Amino acid sequence: MQHVKTGNGGNGIAALDVSAVSHSYGSKLALDDVSFSIAPASFTVLLGLNGAGKTTLLSLISHLYDTRKGAIRVFGHDIRRSSGEALRRLGIVFQARTLDLDLSVQQNLAYHASLHGIGAGEARERIAAVLDTVDMADRLKDKARSLSGGQMRRIEIARALLHQPPLLLLDEATVGLDIQSRAGILATIRSLVRTHGISVFWATHLIDEIEDSDHVVILRQGKVVADGNVASVVKANRVQTIRDAFSRLNERMAETLP
Amino acid sequence: MSDGATQTLPLRAPPFRLRNYAICLKGILIREGLRFLNQRERFISSLVRPLLWLFIFAAGFRQVLGVSIIPPYKTYVLYEVYITPGLCGMILLFSGMQSSLSMVYDREMGNMRTLLVSPFPRWFLLVSKLLAGVAVSIAQVYVFLGIAWFWGVKPPVIGYLLVLPALFLSGLMLCALGMLLSSLIKQLENFAGIMNFVIFPMYFASPALYPLWRIQESSPLLHKICLANPFTYVVELIRFACYGQIDWVSLAVVLGCTVLFLGGAIIAYDPARGLMIRKQDTGGNG
Q: Say what the pLDDT of residue A3 is.
A: 46
CA separation for the pair B111, A94 (Å, rounded): 10
Core vs surface per residue B195-204: b (16+ CB within 10 A) or e: eeebbeebbe
CA separation for the pair B195, B255 (Å, rounded): 24
Q: Say what the pLDDT of residue A8 is.
A: 39
CA separation for the pair A242, B107 (Å, rounded): 36
B283–A95 CB contact, under 8 Å: yes
Q: Say what the pLDDT of residue A248 is.
A: 87
At residue B5, the 3 state secondary structure works out as coil
Q: Say what the pLDDT of residue B280 is.
A: 47
Segments of chain A scoring below 70 in pLDDT? 1-11, 252-258
B28–A84 CB contact, under 8 Å: no
Q: Give B40's contacts (C-beta < 8 A, 6+ positions apart).
A: none
Q: Say what the pLDDT of residue A127 is.
A: 96
Partners of B282 on chain A (C-beta within 8 Å) are: 55-56, 59
Side chain identity at residue A90, one-letter code = L
Is the separation of the CB atoms in A243 and A9 below 8 Å? Answer: no
Segments of chain B scoring below 70 in pLDDT? 1-12, 63-68, 107-109, 186-192, 195, 271-286
B110–A171 CB contact, under 8 Å: no
Tell me: the pLDDT tens digits for A170-182?
A: 999 988 788 888 8
Tell me: the pLDDT tens digits for B155-197?
A: 888 989 999 999 999 999 999 888 888 777 766 666 667 767 8
Q: Say what the pLDDT of residue B267 is.
A: 85
Q: Say what the pLDDT of residue B258 is.
A: 94
CA B44 to each of CA A103, B54, B140, B144: distance values in angstroms, whole numbers, following the listed order:
20, 15, 10, 11
Is the separation of the CB atoms in B118 and A115 below 8 Å? Answer: yes
Partners of A132 on chain B (C-beta within 8 Å) are: 2, 4
Q: Say what the pLDDT of residue A176 is.
A: 79
Partners of A172 on chain B (C-beta within 8 Å) are: 284-286
B27–A92 CB contact, under 8 Å: no
CB pairs under 8 A between A and B: 184
B24–A84 CB contact, under 8 Å: no
Partners of B283 on chain A (C-beta within 8 Å) are: 55, 59, 94-96
Single out the residue of B50, B118, B115, B123 nearest to residue B88, CA to CA: B50
List, in order of start, the domains of chain A with CATH numbers.
2-89+167-256 (3.40.50.300), 100-164 (no CATH)
| Nearest-Cα residue of chain B relative to residue A26 | B278
Tell me: the pLDDT tens digits for B6-41?
A: 566 665 677 888 999 999 999 999 998 888 888 777
Q: Say what the pLDDT of residue A257 is.
A: 53
| Nearest-Cα residue of chain B relative to residue A194 | B3
Q: Give B24's contacts (C-beta < 8 A, 6+ positions apart).
A: A114, A115, A116, A117, B118, B120, B124, B125, B128
For chain A, counts of helices (H) and of strands (E):
8, 11
- Among A25, A54, A132, whose Cβ lies nearest the Cβ of B280? A25
Query: Å from A134 to nearest chain B CA?
Result: 6
